[in-house]
């Protein structure tokens, strides 16, 4: 017991100070919000769009656009562009409330706003979510699970994953929603008592991800249930997921500061 207490004292406080303190430290390989410099886009060039494996990159008269809901955050488009018109920043803040807001052309991303007043009153300090893996590869599921570990400690915000939809305030969905999971997802949604919310986590749950062309998937959670928060990524970093959840609950201001309680 003494050795355990000494080890604990030596380790110190392991939970992240964020969002009250500095932002989390991200790995070197992390790729976040794209940066688009339309002025550097060569006329008639389609290299970035042709390189994208999910057709997330499209071209408009104003320059390239990236559908963050379809984007796998791979470097293919950036590496294919001969002039470097597309690059990736280290900005992990990606969550939005409406699907169409994920079509990004370089302007500031309209980050998620909080729930309506009554829902925020009900869920702002205590949110219970039933996680549904609707055909995912387990990458998004793993990063959702990381939020419950000592370092992230999502429970300090009153957010908890529960085993039964009847004990939940909403669903957190990962995976492209395969046809085999459609009925299970509908039944799980029906079992959650009103009022309830849905959070789609990852490119698969938003738009089918790398499986977008498969006839055995439905193209994301919104094909089956209404979605209140879209969290892009393949998979999204735990910081991206938690940032979206806190914004949805009104716990973060637009600039990322902790909201007054």
Read off the pLDDT of each residue in 157-163 and give the average, rounded to a whole number.
96
User: What distance in Å separates the CA atoms of residue 235 and residue 195, rounded to the nearest whole number?
Assistant: 28
Give the tens place of pLDDT for each residue, 211-244. 999 999 999 999 999 999 999 999 999 999 999 9
Same fold, 34-104 and 117-248: no
Is residue 68 predicted with pLDDT exceeding 70?
A: yes
The fold adopted by the segment(s) 117-248 is Rossmann fold (3.40.50)
Give the tens place of pLDDT for each residue, 14-54. 789 899 888 888 999 999 999 999 989 888 899 999 999 99
User: What distance in Å separates the CA atoms of residue 200 and residue 198, rounded to the nearest whole number?
Assistant: 7
Q: Which helix (H) or strand (E) holds 8?
A: helix 2-11
Q: How far apart are the first and last CA of the chain?
A: 39
Is residue 260 predicted with pLDDT exceeding 60?
A: no
User: What distance in Å separates the CA atoms of residue 219 and residue 177, rounded to the nearest whole number?
Assistant: 7
Model pLDDT, residue 62:
84
Q: Which of 95, 141, 129, 133 is nearest to 114 (CA)?
A: 95
> What class is the 34-104 domain?
alpha beta
Beta bridge partners of 173: 132, 200
Distance from CA of residue 54 to its chain's centroid?
17
Q: Where are the domains of the chain?
A: 34-104, 117-248
């Amino acid at each position: 017991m003494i050795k355990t207490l000494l080890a604990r004292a030596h380790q110190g406080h392991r939970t992240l100070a964020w969002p009250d303190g500095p932002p989390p430290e991200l790995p070197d390989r992390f790729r976040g919000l794209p940066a688009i410099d339309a002025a550097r886009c060569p006329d008639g060039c389609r290299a970035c769009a042709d390189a994208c494996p999910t057709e997330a990159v499209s071209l408009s008269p104003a320059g390239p656009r990236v559908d963050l809901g379809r984007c796998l955050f791979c470097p293919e488009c950036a590496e294919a562009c001969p002039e470097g018109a597309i690059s990736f920043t280290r900005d992990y803040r990606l969550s939005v409330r409406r699907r169409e807001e994920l079509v990004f052309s370089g302007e500031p991303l309209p980050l998620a706003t909080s729930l309506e007043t009554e829902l925020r009153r009900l869920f702002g300090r205590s949110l219970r979510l039933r996680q549904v893996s609707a055909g995912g590869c387990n990458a998004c599921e793993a990063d959702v699970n990381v939020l419950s570990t000592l370092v992230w400690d999502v429970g300090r915000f009153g957010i908890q994953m529960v085993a039964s939809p009847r004990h939940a305030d909403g669903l957190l969905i990962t995976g492209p929603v395969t046809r085999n999971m459609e009925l299970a997802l509908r039944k799980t949604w029906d079992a959650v008592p009103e009022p309830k919310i849905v959070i789609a986590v990852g490119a698969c749950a938003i738009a089918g991800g790398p499986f977008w062309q498969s006839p055995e998937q439905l193209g994301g959670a919104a094909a089956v249930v209404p979605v209140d928060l879209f969290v892009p990524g393949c998979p999204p970093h735990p910081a991206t997921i938690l940032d979206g959840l806190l914004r949805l609950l009104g716990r973060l201001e637009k600039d990322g500061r902790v909201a007054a309680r």
